Structure 1
Amino acid sequence: MRFWTIIGLILVLSALGLTYEIAAGRVLAPFFGTSLLTWTSVIATILAGFSLGSALGGFVAERARPVAVSKVRRALVATAVLMALSPIVLAFLYASGARETGGMLLAVFVAFFPASVLVSLPSPFLARLAVEARPGREGSSLGLVLAAGSLGAIIGAILAGFVALPLVGSVATFAGCGAAALLCVPFVRGDPPGADGQGATPPPKDRGSILSVAVAALVVAASLVGGSVCGFESGLSCIDVLRRGGAVYLYSDRTEQAAERIIRSDGPTGAPPTLVMPYAQWIWARMERDLGPAPSVLFIGGGGYTLPTRLLEARPLAQAVAVEIDPLVTRVVRQHMPWAGAMIERAGYDADSGGGLGGADQGRLGILHADGRVFLNETELRFDAVVMDAFSSGSVPAHLATLETYRRLQRIVGGPVYVNLIDAPDGPLVRGMHAILSDLYPHVEAVQGPVSGRGRTNILLAASRTTLAPLDAMPEDYEIVQVGPGRAFTDDRGWVGHR
């Protein structure tokens, strides 16, 4: 094998490993959420696989060249199959009852550890070939091997985060990883060091190897048949839209985000649809009681744009800015949520260009596709109220649940703050958020909905500089609760996620 062919294989396999690692974190989100713990589990598991694979590959590299070549090729074929099937294995384990921390750790190990071991197994053998290919230049050869591994990791990270996952989704990314592993197989050869194959006796055809590659290729192709793990996918969101019970529901990473009543063509006209989700009903009831006729309201997290739509329907002089990190969410809402989509079409404008709030000639619903914390840090706008409804999978992003975030909010928002959370009753997230709001505002109210079979519930917080007037009614099964003492999250010691 030529030296630069070996270096190319090392680079490709390293890129393959990092692409696989990042894709694993993305595909895990619809099942177990995105948090510090899920990413830690993925990274630790896959790095452990890389370590074991390198160790085992060292023993393979010491074998006779024909034996080593055969084992490396088999490892690559198995890698292709395991990588392509990883999302299917993960979905099967989840459907079989894997839940919470223990289930997540088991699922991560079973779905991602074996392929991580096998993708790194060829590296020691390739490094040996690279060193042998240039006698007397072992130092520079080894240095280029290490550099190729590092450069491949960089390429893999960029490829996964900026290209593959946003453009084709996680399932196709895993299939692409499998295909790339198969394409490496014919380049692994048993030629003498530095040989280019010219004038040499061609190696005998290995019919078993050819058959195994063909079967693996069929498995990789078949893994695409099931399609994406969700209806719409980007590098940030895994979105499904479902219709049931006279309403259309929007799910992000399998967490219910928004819902609208389906307006029948023979139904009454003129009145806006009623709010479906109880948490939205309560926040709107508070907004209706607390805000004046022409408020400017900031929404961190667009979701289904249900609350901004309700506000602008009910308050013709109101203005809103919705900060949604993922443009895909906005596109799905425009296409599949008729009420909110119509409002975006009628009153929406692109707020990315900066400036002030929209006017009559511009629109009343500014839409900004950006991270909520970045917007808060940079905006010069001022608002009368804010709704904090940003979710990453089933929980609030950690950098939006800190004392520093709400101190910044306090400087740009003159009125009440409304916060939507999902947590266990009196759980660590709600206690930490309640501690933050209690440090900054004299009046804080907490309301809790019914508890699900998994022990989670919507917990809603309202904080204000002035007394919060009582509401006339509450959504069904919602009640005011007392929140226990907690530690206020900070940028230094923040929220780590549900487990």
Structure 2
Amino acid sequence: MAVKQQLHNSLVYFLAFSSGFSIMGIELLGGRILAPYFGSSVHIWGSIITVFMLSLSLGYLFGGKLSTLNPSLKRYGLIFILSGITVLPIALWAPNIMESIFIRIEDTRYGSLLASMALFFIPTVILGMISPYSIRLLVEDREKSGQVAGRLYFVSTIGSALGTIMTSFYFVLWFEVNDIIFAYCTVLIALGLIALAFHHKEPSRHE
């Protein structure tokens, strides 16, 4: 049981790290995606950051609620798979969405805000669900819940920092933006499938 628990916890930490990496990578790409239509001034980044912060806050709320309903690696994996699927339209339909908004809204402040909502709101809400769900999967003793949450957010934030560096320093120089988005989609779905593959090894307390 101890080995299974250790494997379970290591997997959750790895997936939380990867989600942090992905969130920041996608957020940074948002500036490159919106720039051809709305520019790259400070209010464009204000729109992107606002949408991501709002979406993550809702994701934390929903993820915390979902984690009280018989939490398992199976459901955890499905969150990753769903997030990967909802990221995909960013690569497929971003130009059409932005062009439609650009034509109808002259003020780039509100145009960029609406475009950010259309492109990033849903996937970021789902990605935000991962952190609170991760904590629920890791907590064995309520007295240590604060310690577990601190460790989880440490790991996730390290992932976010690396996602920021890798995306901004390297990925955008090596690959096209859509290729990076497709890669994030693939990684998120693959991580979800890994969680599904391991769900039968969960300790009985989560069944």
* TM-score of the aligned structures, taking structure 2 as reference length: 0.83
C-alpha distance in 2 between matches for 1:33 and 1:193: 52
Which of 56, 61, 64 does residue 50 from structure 1 map onto? 56
Task: Select the residue among 24, 29, 48 that pairs with 1:18.
Answer: 24
Q: Return closer, same or farther for 1:13/1:87 CA change in 2, 3 Å cut-off.
A: same
- Please, which of 35, 41, 55 is the counterpart of residue 35 of structure 1? 41
How far off is 1:180 after superposition?
Answer: 1.4
Q: Does 1:149 align with 2:156?
A: yes
**CA distance in 1: counterparts of 2:18 and 2:82, whole angstroms:** 17
Of 115-124 and 15-24, the range deviating more from structure 2: 115-124
Relative to its length, the structure with more strand (as a share) is 1
Supply the AA of the counterpart residue of 2:147: S
Instruction: Give the deviation of 1:194 after TM superposition.
Output: 9.0
Counterpart amino acid of residue 48 in structure 2:
V
Unaligned runs of 5+ in 1: 196-202, 204-499
Pick closer, same or farther for the CA change 1:136–1:109 going to 2, 3 Å: closer
What is the rounded CA distance, in whole Å, between the counterparts of 1:114 and 1:182 in structure 2?
16
CA drift of 1:98 comes to 4.5
The structure with the largest helix share of the pair is 2
Alignment partner, residue 94 of structure 2: 90
Q: State how far apart, in whole Å, the 1-side matches of 2:77 and 2:14 are.
A: 16
Number of residue-to-residue matches in the alignment: 193
Q: CA deviation at 1:37?
A: 0.5
- Check if 1:69 corresponds to 2:69: no
Deviation per CA, 1:93-149: give whole Å up to 9, x if none: 2332344333322211111111110111122111111122x7864443222112112
* Higher RCO, 1 vs 2 (CA within 8 Å, ≥6 residues apart): 2
Residue 89 of structure 1 aligns with an amino acid whose one-letter code is: W
Aligned identity (percent) is: 21
Partner residue of 2:120? 112
**2:59–2:129 CA contact under 8 A, matched in 1:** yes
1:24: Cα distance to partner?
Answer: 0.9
**1:177 is aligned to 2:191:** no
Runs of 4+ in 1 over 3 A off after TM superposition: 134-140
Letter in 1 for 2:90: S
CA distance in 1, matches of 2:60, 2:66: 10
Once the two structures are superposed, what CA deviation does each residue of 1:39-89 show, in whole Å capped at 9, x if it has no partner? 1000110111111111100111000135x833x333322211221221433
Q: Find 1:59's aligned residue among 55, 65, 75.
A: 65
Contact 1:3 1:194 in 2 (8 A): no
CA distance in 2, matches of 1:160, 1:5: 23
| Separation in 1, partners of 2:143, 2:155 | 20
Work out the CA distance in 1 between the residues paired with 2:159 and 2:176. Answer: 21
Question: Aligned partners of 1:38, 1:18: CA distance in 2, in Å?
Answer: 16
Q: TM-score, normalised by structure 1?
A: 0.36
Structure 1 residue 10: Cα displacement? 0.8
Report the 3-state secondary structure (helix = DSSP H, G, I; strand = E; otherwise coil) of the residue aligned with 2:40.
coil
Query: Is 1:192 the counterpart of 2:203 in the alignment?
Result: yes
